[in-house]
Structure 1
Amino acid sequence: MIDFVFGLSVRVLITDEDNKILILKRSTDSKTNPGKWELPGGKVDQGESFDQALIREVSEETGLKISLEHVVGVSEQNLHLIRAVHIIMSGKITEGTLTLSNEHEGYAWVFFENLSEYELADWLEDFVNNQETDDNSEIGSEEVNQVTRTVKPWLKSVKQSMDKILKP
């Protein structure tokens, strides 16, 4: 039996003023997940910190400069002999105009609840499918509902990740 080699990838959940999420469509000639949608980001190089890698990857892929906020989740992807672990962080655009590299052929700003309408990369699809949303919320304030819709899905992922780490 051949064991997997673990690889580390960092991704960012960038939201706009309407709380829509930036997703990128991989080029159709990509080695992994060709033509599928994903969050900006990529591999962490040796000697590079998570934040350095994510800021670099986002700049390379989109031309945007970002600031990072929090870890919002983790997902994994099984490739041939490699298990990629995707650490997903939240972030904001600080400057720049969105310009795609040749690694991607499209982008979209979408609400989290509409991500299932897109053909997602396998790791992102797993992450989205593992989120819990509560559409039957009885909270009256639209502002509270907006925060609940934006934050609650990420909290479940963080809890699941911590449960896996703390499990004996």
Structure 2
Amino acid sequence: MPDIAMGALAQNGAVLLARRSSKRKVHPDRWSLPGGHIEDGEDAETAMRRELMEEIGVTPEHWQFVGRFVSEAPPEASATFHVYRVDKWRGRPRLIDDEHTELRWFAATAIACEGELALPQLGEMLGNLDIPRGAESAYISKQPWRPPD
């Protein structure tokens, strides 16, 4: 079973999610955290940092392990997910490759209600993050990143 590392960029009561491309074999057109497979010889933290740089162009500077869970649905995509909350990063989140089609800030309290999550376990985990409140979600596509108001 593969291991996947994911980073939850968090600020102003919101978490950045990425919509998976419709061309993805697993969970197409669903919202998820940026992240990816942990490579041989790599630990979960290193993989999370590498994946955030590759997928959305940010370098995490301060993060905390949130937890891990196993997803067995669909069976061909069974994996163990390692989730990190990223409170400080360098760079502006942006779409870099074709793995995702959109980035969007979601209010942490609303994520559990989002019906298009790739992994339902993320809803509960992210909904319980202690993120200072103060902003509604903002959209990001291929435009330069702007923090939520």
State the TM-score bracket (shorter-chain normalisation).
0.7 to 0.9
Residues 41-80 of structure 1 mapped to structure 2, 5 A cutoff: 41-78=35-72, 79-80=74-75
Residue in 1 that maps onto 2:130: 150
Q: CA deviation at 1:128?
A: 2.0
- Unpaired runs of 5+ residues, structure 2, are 132-149
TM-score scaled by length of structure 2: 0.75
Instruction: Please name the residue that 2:114 is paired with.
Output: 117
Cα displacement (A) at 1:130 = 6.7
Structure index of larger Rg: 1
| Distance in 1, Cα, partners of 2:89 & 2:41 | 25
Deviation per residue, 1:130-163 (Å, 9 max, x gap): 7886xxxxxxxxxxxxxxx726xxxxxxxxxxxx
Cα distance change of structure 1 residues 131 and 96 upon mapping to structure 2, 3 Å threshold: closer
Structure 2 Cα separation of the partners of residues 60 and 109 of structure 1: 19
Alignment identity in percent? Answer: 23
Deviation at 1:49, TM superposition (A): 1.7
Q: Provide closer, same or farther for how the CA distance between residues 113 and 132 of structure 1 changes in structure 2, counting only shifts above 3 A.
A: closer
For the Cα contact (< 8 Å) 1:24–1:106, is it kept in 2? Answer: yes
**Structure whose residues are more often strand by fraction:** 2
Unpaired runs of at least 5, structure 1: 1-5, 134-148, 152-168
- The alignment's TM-score, normalised by the length of structure 1, stands at 0.68
Cα RMSD of the aligned pairs, angstroms, is: 2.2
